[in-house]
Structure 1
Amino acid sequence: MNAPRSTKVEVDGWVILDKPVGMTSTQGVAVVKRIFNAKKAGHAGTLDPLASGLLPIALGEATKTVPYVMDGRKVYRFTVAWGVETNTDDTEGEAVATSDKRPERGDIEALLPRYTGVISQVPPKFSAIKIDGERAYDLARDGEEVELAARQIEIHRLVIAASSPDSTTFEAECGKGTYVRALARDLGRDLGCYGHVIDLRRAVVGTFDEEDAVTPDELRAMKDGLDGFAPVQNALLPVETALEALPTLAVSQHDASRLARGQSVLLRGRDAPVFEGTAAVMSGGTLIALAELERGELMPRRIFRLAAPRA
């Protein structure tokens, strides 16, 4: 007889998984969801299997804040091997162009200003972008010709972290939609030597950094109560952690009840906020809603049901 399946529970918060190389983002979500026995989970931005680093995973009510993490800045550390371009722009693909030339550090540094600010980038052919309902990587694997349109991205900072004759390690701070593999491909082409990514790590996503991260093995040890490890609940960050970039408004319990029922609240008097736009609304230290403030009127957009996290 099969053992009865455990009943899933309501768990609300963020787990910042330090995803190892080889694990897919979907597998990472499944690991965290299973450890917390959570009803609902999702991630804030796919990380390639060949990449390591921060994979923010939202549980329960935190899934309502995923867009605010995905729209935040990311920091990547990546190493480009010079002399070979592959069809996937990383080590998983086949070589499509080679060169004996190797770039001087000064030549690379001189090129970097062209890759900062708002730039145009053609995504890799092996990417999750959809073409007529099909993923680009599925079409590419089937041998079909994939043509992706260039899109505008923003790179806030791009610097050399380390260099050798055959490879260069960069650190990039960038916005949503940036493909590091495409960055390596284009740098290699502009330098006349070709290049592809051989190592990639995401170090920052939105408000989360490596100090927040926990590995799958650490989570399992916490769940199993092994000596030296804190309870697994300690790895769960509050839902509102993802909203630190937003202004916060504190309201009374009466106003919180109105917002929770989907009703707007008028904020008047000398203590009324002077800004307009989206705000995280708190009452008694609890996140109540994401709301839009316009001309003194606070209108709820997303309502939160926050229970004490269980695992």
Structure 2
Amino acid sequence: MGRKRKGRDISGWLVLDKPAGMTSTAVVNKVRWALEAKKAGHAGTLDPEATGILAVALGEATKTVPYITDALKAYTFTVRLGQATNTDDAEGEIIAASDLRPSDDDIKAALSPFLGDIMQVPPKFSAVKIDGQRAYKLARDGEEVELNARPLWVEELVMVDRPDADHVVLEMTCGKGGYVRSIARDLGAALGCHAHVKELRRIWSGPFDLENALKWDDVMRMERTPELDSHIQPLEHGLDGLAEVRCTPEGAARLRNGNAGMVMPVADIEYGDEVWASFQGKALAVGIYKSGELHPNRVFVQSS
């Protein structure tokens, strides 16, 4: 019999403005300690030196992480032109350099092929697994790393500033699995000048944005106090991308036991749609809508 995990049964989201110099895992572990939470996870890794939105899921909210991971997200990032690094960011060693500096018009023209459905090769220093091992570990050990291209949806990629000849600031909105470092690397290759990411900031992810994100210093100041609890956002925010249906009392009882339950009809919801069901304002389940019933694939256990 497994050992029971210690901590409080709290559910919801703590949305942070992650500082540079911390891994996403370290942030989650510290948040779990600060809240004395039994369970926590995050919805989308940020590189240690990257900053911005890191949404930490607590308790039952961890069941909604896939819906945030799959949602659109946006980044602003500074690209250093004229240098390629082995990590595709400023933390790595320079492996190629060029004196060529493209014009603003050249850069804007080169962005177009990165829009829409593209294929992207992740950085060699990434968490992608190769034969069961992380690519970054193999790369650090000096092994040759070959990664396959992966599909990515890029909704928007625009130039927002050109501070000087060596740097350009871009903003990108993309889907799941995008590597900003790969965008910078491939843009440098397309321009013939080499490039890497110098600074990276995630400005929103699904329903979460910086306006409602806690600064790390505030998390530390409020650790293990009711004040920090007051900043936990409802579990339901993680379901923002799905339509909501309301349960009948009988349907709620059935859903709590993992069975299909009756829900009230809602316009614009069709047979086979994935939706989430609520009762008295609380999410009960996510599942497939079929002929007036929700067939659950995730059930939430929330206190009243």
Q: Same fold (TM over 0.5)?
A: yes
Task: State the identity as a percent.
Answer: 47
Query: What secondary structure sits across from 2:157 in the alignment?
Result: strand
List alignment gaps of at least 5 residues for structure 1: 1-5
Q: How far apart, CA to CA, are the structure 1 residues paired with 2:249 and 2:263?
A: 14
The Cα of 1:291 is off from its aligned counterpart by 1.9
What pairs up with 1:1-311 in 2 under 5 angstroms? 8-163=7-162, 164-223=164-223, 231-266=227-262, 274-276=269-271, 277-307=273-303
The Cα of 1:185 is off from its aligned counterpart by 0.4
The Cα of 1:84 is off from its aligned counterpart by 0.4
RMSD, matched Cα: 1.8
Query: What secondary structure sits across from 2:214 in the alignment?
Result: coil
Relative distance call for 1:12 and 1:267 in structure 2 (3 A) is closer
Q: Would the aligned equivalents of 2:250 and 2:261 in 1 still touch at CA under 8 Å?
A: no
Partner letter of residue 288 of structure 2? E
Partner letter of residue 259 of structure 1? L
Relative distance call for 1:21 and 1:271 in structure 2 (3 A) is closer
Partner letter of residue 279 of structure 2? S
The Cα of 1:224 is off from its aligned counterpart by 6.7
Q: How far apart, CA to CA, are the structure 1 residues paired with 2:280 and 2:267?
A: 18
List alignment gaps of at least 5 residues for structure 2: none
Query: What secondary structure sits across from 2:230 in the alignment?
Result: helix
Partner letter of residue 66 of structure 1? V
The Cα of 1:281 is off from its aligned counterpart by 0.5
Relative distance call for 1:62 and 1:101 in structure 2 (3 A) is same
The Cα of 1:295 is off from its aligned counterpart by 3.3
Partner letter of residue 34 of structure 2? I
Query: What secondary structure sits across from 2:193 in the alignment?
Result: coil
- Give the TM-score normalised by the residue count of structure 1: 0.92
The Cα of 1:48 is off from its aligned counterpart by 0.3
Q: Would the aligned equivalents of 2:74 and 2:205 in 1 still touch at CA under 8 Å?
A: yes
The Cα of 1:107 is off from its aligned counterpart by 0.3
- Give the TM-score normalised by the residue count of structure 2: 0.94
The residue number in structure 2 matching 1:3 is none
Give a deviation string over 1:117-155, Cα, whole Å, max 9, x none: 011111111110000001000000101000001111110
Q: Would the aligned equivalents of 2:35 and 2:224 in 1 still touch at CA under 8 Å?
A: no
The Cα of 1:273 is off from its aligned counterpart by 6.7
Q: How far apart, CA to CA, are the structure 1 residues paired with 2:219 and 2:258?
A: 37
Q: How far apart, CA to CA, are the structure 2 residues paired with 1:30 and 1:267?
A: 38
The Cα of 1:272 is off from its aligned counterpart by 7.7
Q: How far apart, CA to CA, are the structure 2 residues paired with 1:130 and 1:108?
A: 32
Q: How far apart, CA to CA, are the structure 2 residues paired with 1:182 and 1:234?
A: 38
